[in-house]
Structure 1
């Protein structure tokens, strides 16, 4: 009788939905910051400032989203294969960042290029802080 109850609890615990991948937290934080920060930048500095800052932020956010999705998918594989897939995701993130910057400066030609780098730097700093938090939390 007691074994049946323990077995049911174990089955119920196993049937719960898996936790949301922590890799996506960084991307969600960045999306919220962009969602609330862009209108504030527009009100304070005008359209050219908001576009420049948002384009720099997107140069960090889009590659981070790509990385998060790839690493979340890689975590379902064996450790060796996950490490390989994670490394390729990091390479893809780097290439996407470079391509994003090239497109911003070739197509948009921002009026305030310094704000592009500030937006990128701010979002890149969030990635570093969240990466450290994730490493400390996983111990």
Structure 2
């Protein structure tokens, strides 16, 4: 026995909660799929930025090792100030975190860059890093 007549006009009101739950589920599904795609894109970007950062720091480290080797072979070529700067830059690079830690890597990178420029000034060479124009944060 149908007390409300045909029942069709009231069925939407009866199904309102279920319809809203289904609509929320569909919306969440779309957002989740988009975030998963964003996570993959973020991982890809992070990989490339990390590789560029490693390249830059590796270049600086090779400059330090090169000049330290020259200094060992020819002890009188560099003064004490240059030798201290080489050690300071080497220490900064060796203590740069290799894992994702709670350290401000941009500040650490900025410190390394500043010390590298100071070393270059002392050595009277241009502070270049090949492809450094691709390294931006």
Same fold per TM (> 0.5)? no
Higher relative contact order (Cα pairs below 8 Å, separated by 6+ residues): 1
Higher helix share: 1
TM bucket normalised to smaller:
0.3 to 0.5
Q: Which of the pair has more CA radius of gyration? A: 2
* TM-score after normalising by structure 2: 0.36
